[in-house]
Structures are given as structure tokens and as C-alpha cells.
Amino acid sequence: MTYGRAAIPVLAGALLLTALLWWAGASVNALHLRGTAEVIGSQAAGDLEHWLTPWSYHPPESVRLGTAVSGTTVGAGYLALYVTAMQIRFAAVFAFFVPGALLLVRRLPPVNRRTPATLAAVWAWGMVAGTLAVTVSAPWVIASQGRGSYRFLPQLAGMMTAGRQILVPAALVAAVVTVLVARITAKGAGDLPRAVVPRRAARTAATVGTLVVALSLVVLSYQPVAAEIQTVSLSGRLLSEPGDFLRQWLLLGGWAGPAGTSIGHWLLYRAADGLLLAVVWCALRWLPGLLTRVTIPAMAAGAVCATVTGLLAGQLLRIALDSTGLSMLYGPVHVMSAIGTGVPAALAVGSVAGAVAALPLRWADSRTEDRGAPEPPATVPDRPAAV
């Protein structure tokens, strides 16, 4: 699929995702209307406000309080920093969504029974783009609160996943529109065949990539190891406490032994981690055969999307396990608060997993080319000239 045919649906999806997030942020004021709390409940209204505030141009309470305490000029500067942060955030959503979705739609076009895979991949990439946009704009938000030099990295780590809950449905809608438009633009683009990948090489690639994800999920996420990562300190002032920041980018979860609970209940919660690894393995097993051409960037992007999809599957399983008790205490909206966590780690770990998984495929492809290459013609020695 050419870049021109792939760019049309990707641009449509990027514009829609940006518009949906802007509309969601603009809807925060509706939660403050009289009667809203009575209709949806005060707990649900508070949770929704927490979800939508990171996408709103309306300054949060911390910025408004700092503006009121400071002088006129200083307060206006804080408000300008916050507005700049939101401008960067929405521009970054568009800028991050386009290249990743363009690569996915071009290498994984929604034809020849690829549509579900393309939809899941673009959906996951939409969440990655939103998370990256929040991350790169977070320094301006931190500065607008008047305490940018105080524990900067922990503050940045706390803001990286802000607004992730609303990203899940917004990215899904944008992915559906992207795939539908891509199916239209793919007509007349040719056969777009699948890559031919040996089964043994595909299994090896899936196993190697899943082991990389398991390293983060099983080894680094074990509580004693995670505690060591979180307590890392460096010399200096601004970047002296990178522990929380490293944890966001390296850990896909957190777990400990079955202390104080039954082994059956503990194994039931660990099933979410097993589901994540199963989703990653199956995705990496099928992905090479779905691509039009197996490349390292395509495998890395596909592995990132597979890891994000596995995280969502595991989180939905845990929500289903906890929904009965939590929904009675806090309401159904609060139950979904944990959705979308771990996307920064999925981006970092999934990129490495995809790049590592591409190596067995490249090796198998090179061996196939060597075996199938025609032998050079035999050389016949020149006959001596007749005397």
C-alpha cells in the first residue's frame, strides 16, 4: 500500500482523535452544572472530572490557586504556560499518531482478512500517541503550577498517564474511522499479499519477543525488584529522583507472593498477567504472516500495539474480578479508573521485543534466500591453443 493511499485514512483518524480529545476536555464544565451530581452521582462526577481535566483548556485547581496567590504579571505567566502546554498536547497527539498509524496501515492494510488486526493495532497506537502527547507537554503543566524545580521527575512520572481513561474510547473511535477509510482507499491498490514466513521462525520470534515482555512483567515487576528501581537516586537536583520515572517506563505491572491470601485467589489475579503474555505471543506469532513485508520498524510497532492490547485485556479481566465489590462501594465509573495504565512501559518494552523478534525472521529469510539462490555456472577451463 503506497504512502498516498495510507495517508488519507491516517490523517482522518488523527484529526478525529484530536477533535474527540478536545471535545472531551471542553465537556468538563458540564460536570459543574446544577443537577449533574444528582443525575450521575457525586463519585462518578468526580471521577469523570479527573479523567477529562488533562484535556481541558480550563486550568486545574492548582494553577488557579497559584494564579490567585501570585501577582498579576506572574499569574498571567502561569496561565500562559498552561495554555501553551495544552496547545503542545493537542498538536503532539496529531504528530505522534500520524507516523505510527501510517506505518501500520501501510504494512498491515485492512484487506485479505487483516481488518481485526489493523483495528486493534491502530486502536493501541492511538493510546500510545495520547500518552506521548501528555508526556511531552507535562513540563509546561508542571511549570504553570509554580513548582517546576521541585522533584521534577516524580511530578513528570505522575502526569505521564493522566487522562488515559478517556483515551481508550477516543482511540477506538478514531481507529474504526481510520480502518473504514483505509478499506476504501485500499481498493485498486493491488493484491497486497501477506509475507511468507516459516512456521518455525514465526514461533521462535514470538517466543523471543514474549520473553522480553515477561522480563518486565515477571522479573522487574516483582515488588522487591520494583522497590529497588523506584529508590534509584542520582547526583544533581532536577534529575536526582528518577525512580518513579524509570518505573513508568520499565514496569508493566506489580506483583508479590500470596501472603495473606489464598493461593487460588492469588492465581486468579495472576491470570491477568498470563493473559497479557498469551496475547503478546499470539500477536507476534501471527503478525509476520499478516504484514506485506517484514521489517524491524513494522515488527517493533506491532509488538508495541500487541503489548498495549494485552495490557487492556488483562486490565479488563481484573476489572471483571473486582467489579462486584467496587461498583457497590464507588460506582461503575470508578471501576474503570485503572484502565489504560502501563502504556509507557508497553512502548519501551514492546519496541525492544519487536526488534528482537524480527531477528529470527531476518535470519530465516536470509537462509531461505541462500538455499534458493541459483548455483553459479560451472567454469570450463580454456582449451590450449592448437599448435
The 10s digit of each residue's pLDDT in 265-282 is: 888 889 999 999 999 999
pLDDT at 372: 55
Contact between 239 and 383 under an 8 Å Cβ cutoff? The reply is no
- The answer, yes or no, to whether residue 384 has pLDDT greater than 50, is no
* Cα distance between residue 21 and residue 8, in whole Å: 20
The H or E element that residue 111 is part of is none
Q: What share of the chain has pLDDT > 90, as a percent?
A: 54
The mean pLDDT value for 346-366 works out to 92
pLDDT at 98: 97
Residue of higher predicted confidence among 9 and 47: 9
Q: Would you give the end-to-end CA distance of the chain in angstroms? A: 65
* Cα distance between residue 81 and residue 140, in whole Å: 6
pLDDT at 375: 41
The 10s digit of each residue's pLDDT in 215-247 is: 999 999 999 999 999 888 887 677 788 889 999
- The answer, yes or no, to whether residue 66 has pLDDT greater than 60, is no
The 10s digit of each residue's pLDDT in 7-24 is: 999 999 999 999 999 999
Q: Which residues contact 216 (CB under 8 A, 6 or more apart)?
A: 250, 251, 252, 345, 349
Largest distance between two CA atoms of the chain: 115
Q: Look up residue 161 and give its DSSP letter.
A: T
- The answer, yes or no, to whether residue 379 has pLDDT greater than 50, is no
- The answer, yes or no, to whether residue 283 has pLDDT greater than 90, is yes
The listed range with the strongest mean pLDDT (4-8, 48-52, 117-121, 324-328) is 117-121
- The answer, yes or no, to whether residue 64 has pLDDT greater than 90, is no
pLDDT at 198: 87
pLDDT at 377: 44
Contact between 130 and 173 under an 8 Å Cβ cutoff? The reply is no
- Which residues face 222 on adjacent strands? 255
The mean pLDDT value for 111-120 works out to 92
pLDDT at 380: 38
Residue of higher predicted confidence among 261 and 116: 116
The mean predicted confidence, pLDDT, of the chain is: 86
3-class secondary structure, 280: helix
3-class secondary structure, 22: helix
Which three three-digit cell numbers place residue 213?
515482555
- The answer, yes or no, to whether residue 59 has pLDDT greater than 50, is yes
Hey, which bits of 81-199 come out as E strands? none
Question: Which pLDDT band, with edges at 50, 70 and 90, does 120 fall under?
Answer: very high
Contact between 248 and 161 under an 8 Å Cβ cutoff? The reply is yes
What CA dihedral angle connects 36, 40, 44 and 48, to 10 degrees? -60
The H or E element that residue 48 is part of is helix 42-52
Residue of higher predicted confidence among 329 and 50: 50
* Cα distance between residue 290 and residue 306, in whole Å: 14
- The answer, yes or no, to whether residue 357 has pLDDT greater than 50, is yes
Question: Which pLDDT band, with edges at 50, 70 and 90, does 262 fall under?
Answer: confident
Go through the chain and tell me how many residues it has. 387
Residue of higher predicted confidence among 170 and 319: 170
Q: Among the listed ranges 74-83, 97-106, 158-167, 319-328, which one has the minimum average pLDDT value?
A: 319-328
pLDDT at 311: 95
Question: Which pLDDT band, with edges at 50, 70 and 90, does 78 fall under?
Answer: confident
Q: What share of the chain has pLDDT > 70, as a percent?
A: 87
Q: Among the listed ranges 79-88, 148-157, 303-312, which one has the minimum average pLDDT value?
A: 148-157
